[in-house]
Amino acid sequence: MCENAHGPYFPLDPHATHVAWQLLCRGLVMNAKRVLGCATATALASACFLGGTPAAQNDAGSPDASTVLPFQADSPFVYVAKVKNIMTGLAPTQAEVDSVANAGDQAAQQAALVTLIDTWMTRPEYTGKMLTFFELAFQQTQITQTDFSEIVPNGNGSIGTSPEANLLVQNARESFARTALELIAEGQPLTSTFTTTRFMMTPALAELYAFMDWNQTDDNEKITDKFATQFKTIGVTVEDTTPITYADTIDSTKPTTYMHWYFPGLNSVQPAGPNNPSPDCQADTRTWISTNNANTPSAHLVHFLLYGGFESYKINSGPPPNNDCNAYQGGTNTNAIITGTDFSNWQMVQVRAPNGSEAITPFWDMNKLRAANDSSNPLVLNVPRVGFFSTPAFHANWQTNTSNQMRVTINQSFIVALGAQVDGTDTTNPALIGTNPPGMDPQHMAAGGAPCVGCHQVLDPSRSILMANYSDAYGIQTNASQTKGEFVFNGVVNNNVTTLADFGNQLATHPYFPDAWVEKLCFFVNSQKCDPTDPEYIRIRDDFKSKGFQWKVLVEDLLSSPLTTNAVPTQTTQVSEGELVSVTRRDHLCTLLNSRLGLVDSCGLDIVTTKSLVGIPEIAAGLPSDGYGRGAPIPVLPTSPNLFYRAGLENICEDVANEIIDAKTPPQGATTYASTASDAAIADFVATMMAIVPDDPRSAVMIGKLTAHYNSALTNSATKTDALKSTFVVACLSPNVAGIGM
């Protein structure tokens, strides 16, 4: 049996010529073992180390090599550092490690760790970590400005191309993760993220929500620009002659200035030139009045004006290359309305449908949008917004079309909410679904036959719920004859699911929910799944269920569990999965650098904040990172430190060293070190960077090795500054920084 097959650890000889082969074998075996269980992986190991190559045989050591590495318990020195790193990026203090190590038996130590976890949860670094986790878990990332081109119609520029548009995209990415955190802070169950109609928004994001309500596309790709209709007679005037206050621009009681936008520098927009030969392209009059050009004023025009740009689309109708002027947005207008804190002031905002003939929220009224909240001043919108699957970011991420018909949307919704997808293995009794469920695409029944039915009888009824609420471009569904559909997914059939709220509720009550989210956290914390049959896993999942799906409970339970700490063996760590030390992927590494060295967004992952460093972001872009793929319930998580990681980390560490060691102008708030106090610096490298507390037996060893390096560097004619920088780089490259669980 697997648990009895623990041979010795597979020793590798780093000087042997087949190190790569051995590691390849081991990686394959470990991967197989995580997935397959013991028997298959054991056979794989035998093949690898016995049958792979003669050289591998010689290097492999034991012919009884096991597929699951022998379990060896980690000490509090190791796991307290791991848990604090995962939660905050910070190193533990001696007192924190002591509080666990000296607590008593294993149960007492676990309880002491929970106390620490509760403390760490209050730190801003934890909020940042959870923000990253939820952005990925709710699949709100992996989008750029261009991904909005289909869901924000009119094509020419979509949400805009200015730098501020990138800020808006980041707002969209963060919004739902912030919403989840806010709901958790309110004490709401995690399932509330499926049903919420309140969303964290910035004023800029609120404008996008409203803008998308005024300007949308139906299933026939017909664009409805309600702004154009409403302002057809009034028009929009853009001028740089007389300053007009924004208050006057949006004041409908002042007809002489209403919808007159002050745009200093208008004449500089699209000047004549080699690439802009058509005079029709040029805003060469000091006042541009939409109705003078046989245009109707568009929602896009005003959206761009709010951002300080000017859209002159429709002025030119020529073929390429003269279509450069079809869309233009420049940052030349110093009178931009959406600026600065409009991208950083977050507020919980209620979104609700109009009552009767109530008007929807005007997207051009930033004063109103800045005051939006979840009580007296909600956003009044026609497009339904309920749960994570209704956000602009999710829609931009998972665009659909006339042939896909929301199948990608429903499948990704299942993956996010329930951790499983439609793949032909659905456990629902076909008799409950019937032969022709509502929303079933008859073409797939007829054309594809049996192989297609398995997926489509689940996908089609369920996606029809979304189709009944949204157009293909995620505008409001105007086709009243659209079949409303039926919820079908893994054992649950409900033909009374009509609205998005119904859909969200159905997801929230589905039996797959708790397992899905325990596993998502397992992947985040341990870079591998937890064995769902492990009694410890079941304890955690059941506690999550019995305590009302409180996220805090799940975090406490899993991060203090031996599933994470490896303090004692579990079925997961000893039998089915084994312990995995993973590479410190990008988000964890960047948080670590920020938290331990007082840097601000060292990797440049947040375009809103001011960066500490300028060289690292390019490297960080190539570091292994967490991601999700279309139709993939399991996240994409590289776990090995390949050569690019090693090379990139070295360059990152050098960049950091230049900023914090003997630096004349270090980043504000950064921890700095002086070569005149090298002993203290080295001690702190070990304690802070490597997260090895002073009483840890490894501390003296590592201080000795770093000190020896520093002295050797001096012996090799390095300056004191370079010697200390190099010593920092060693610490920064150490397994304790580059690996999670060391």
Partner 1 sequence: VRKNVKKTSISRRDALLATLFGGSMIGLRSIATGLPVKLLLNPKKALADMQTTCTGNAGAAQFVIINTSGSGDPISCNAPGTYDDPTTGIDLSSLVHPDPVTYSWMAPTKMALGSKGAQYTAAQIWSTLGPGTGNADVLDRTCFAHIMTNTPVHPKEPEVLELMGATLYGEMFPSVLAKQLAPCLGTLQTQPISVGASTPSEALTFGGQALPTIPPTALSATLTNATTGPSAGMTKLQTLRDQTLNDMYDWYKDSSQTSPAQKAYIDSMILSQQQVRGISQSQLGLLSSITSNSNAGQITAALALIMMKVTPVIAVHFPFGGDNHADPAFNSEATQTQTGLQAIVSLMTQLKDPSFNLYDNVTFLNLNVFGRTMGPANTAGRQHNQNHQMSLMIGKGFKGGVLGGVGPIASNLGGDFGSLGIDVNSGAAVQNVSTSTSSVVAPLDSLASWGKTVLTAVGATSDQTNAAVSSGQVIQAALA
Enumerate residues 24-63 that contact partner 1 by CB under 8 A.
24-28, 30-32, 34-36, 40-41, 43-44, 46-48, 51-53, 55-56
Nearer to partner 1, 285 or 642 (CB): 642
- Residue span binding partner 1 (CB under 8 A) among the ranges 123-131, 161-169, 281-289, 700-708: 700-708
278 forms part of the interface with partner 1 (CB under 8 A): no
Least distance in Å: CB of 291 to partner 1? 26
267 forms part of the interface with partner 1 (CB under 8 A): no
Chain centroid offset of residue 172 CA = 11
Token readout for 552 is 């805090």
Nearer to partner 1, 243 or 735 (CB): 735
237 forms part of the interface with partner 1 (CB under 8 A): no
Report the b/e string of 434-452 with b at 16+ CB within 10 A: eeebbbbbeebbeeeeeeb
Among 163, 273, 451, 622, binds partner 1 (CB under 8 A): 622
721 forms part of the interface with partner 1 (CB under 8 A): yes
271 forms part of the interface with partner 1 (CB under 8 A): no
Least distance in Å: CB of 622 to partner 1? 3
Q: Which of residues 382-401 bind partner 1 (CB under 8 A)?
A: 401
CA–CA dist 627, 636 (Å, integer)? 5
Q: Which of residues 62-101 bind partner 1 (CB under 8 A)?
A: 69-75
Token readout for 237 is 């005037």
Least distance in Å: CB of 272 to partner 1? 24
Nearer to partner 1, 209 or 728 (CB): 728
Contact of 378 with 472, CB cutoff 8 Å: no
734 forms part of the interface with partner 1 (CB under 8 A): yes
CA–CA dist 391, 411 (Å, integer)? 16
Helix, strand and coil percent figures for the chain, each rounded to 5: 50, 5, 45
How many residues touch partner 1 under the rule CB under 8 A: the total is 134
Contact of 512 with 425, CB cutoff 8 Å: no
N-term to C-term CA, the chain: 29
State the DSSP H helix or E strand holding residue 40, giving kind and residue range, or none if neither.
helix 38-46
Q: Which of 107, 95, 97, 49 is nearest to 75 (CA)?
A: 97
Nearer to partner 1, 185 or 701 (CB): 701
Q: Per-residue contact track with partner 1, 292 to 321, x per CB under 8 A?
A: ---------------------------xx-
Nearer to partner 1, 120 or 517 (CB): 517
Among 322, 377, 658, 671, binds partner 1 (CB under 8 A): 658
615 forms part of the interface with partner 1 (CB under 8 A): yes
* Helices 513-526 and 124-137, packing angle to 10 deg: 120
Q: Per-residue contact track with partner 1, 526 to 565, x per CB under 8 A?
A: ------xx-x--x---------------------------
CA–CA dist 203, 337 (Å, integer)? 11
637 forms part of the interface with partner 1 (CB under 8 A): yes
Q: Which of residues 436-455 bind partner 1 (CB under 8 A)?
A: 446-447
Nearer to partner 1, 290 or 582 (CB): 582
Least distance in Å: CB of 621 to partner 1? 4
Nearer to partner 1, 163 or 629 (CB): 629
Q: Per-residue contact track with partner 1, 183 to 222, x per CB under 8 A?
A: --------------------------------------x-
CA–CA dist 61, 9 (Å, integer)? 9
694 forms part of the interface with partner 1 (CB under 8 A): no
Give DSSP secondary structure letters for 571-608. Answer: IIIIIIS----EE--HHHHHHHHHHHHT-SSTT---SS
Among 389, 645, 673, 685, binds partner 1 (CB under 8 A): 645
Nearer to partner 1, 680 or 701 (CB): 701
Least distance in Å: CB of 200 to partner 1? 26
Nearer to partner 1, 139 or 335 (CB): 139
CA–CA dist 110, 107 (Å, integer)? 5
Nearer to partner 1, 75 or 671 (CB): 75
487 DSSP β-pair partners: 494
Least distance in Å: CB of 94 to partner 1? 18
Among 206, 465, 521, 706, binds partner 1 (CB under 8 A): 706
Cis amide prior to 354 (ω within 30 degrees): no
Q: Which of residues 239-258 bind partner 1 (CB under 8 A)?
A: none
Question: What's the full length of the chain, in residues?
Answer: 742
Among 10, 209, 261, 310, binds partner 1 (CB under 8 A): 10
Contact of 329 with 157, CB cutoff 8 Å: yes
Q: How far is CA 465 from CA 159, 427, 444, 457, in A?
A: 27, 20, 18, 13
Among 86, 100, 657, 687, binds partner 1 (CB under 8 A): 657
Backbone phi, psi, residue 253, to 5°: -85, 0
Chain centroid offset of residue 604 CA = 15
- Residue span binding partner 1 (CB under 8 A) among the ranges 2-10, 113-121, 375-383, 604-612: 2-10
State the DSSP H helix or E strand holding residue 225, giving kind and residue range, or none if neither.
strand 223-225
Least distance in Å: CB of 192 to partner 1? 24
403 forms part of the interface with partner 1 (CB under 8 A): yes
Q: Which of residues 92-151 bind partner 1 (CB under 8 A)?
A: 142, 150
408 forms part of the interface with partner 1 (CB under 8 A): yes
CB neighbours (10 Å) of residue 22?
A: 23
- Residue span binding partner 1 (CB under 8 A) among the ranges 205-213, 433-441, 604-612, 650-658: 650-658
Nearer to partner 1, 125 or 515 (CB): 515
Give DSSP secondary structure letters for 687-702. Answer: IIIS---TTSHHHHHH
Least distance in Å: CB of 596 to partner 1? 19
CA–CA dist 168, 212 (Å, integer)? 13
Backbone phi, psi, residue 484, to 5°: -75, -20
Least distance in Å: CB of 435 to partner 1? 19
431 forms part of the interface with partner 1 (CB under 8 A): no
Q: How far is CA 140 from CA 86, 171, 208, 412, in A?
A: 21, 10, 16, 11
Contact of 132 with 603, CB cutoff 8 Å: no
Q: Which of residues 463-492 bind partner 1 (CB under 8 A)?
A: 490
- Residue span binding partner 1 (CB under 8 A) among the ranges 98-106, 284-292, 295-303, 574-582: 574-582
CA–CA dist 462, 409 (Å, integer)? 10
Q: How far is CA 517 from CA 296, 388, 512, 523, 545, in A?
A: 49, 14, 9, 10, 11
CB neighbours (10 Å) of residue 598?
A: 17
566 forms part of the interface with partner 1 (CB under 8 A): yes
Among 341, 367, 425, 609, binds partner 1 (CB under 8 A): 425
Least distance in Å: CB of 139 to partner 1? 11
Backbone phi, psi, residue 615, to 5°: -85, -25
Largest CA distance in the chain: 89
Nearer to partner 1, 332 or 405 (CB): 405
Nearer to partner 1, 16 or 289 (CB): 16
Q: Which of 470, 531, 594 is nearest to 219 (CA)?
A: 470
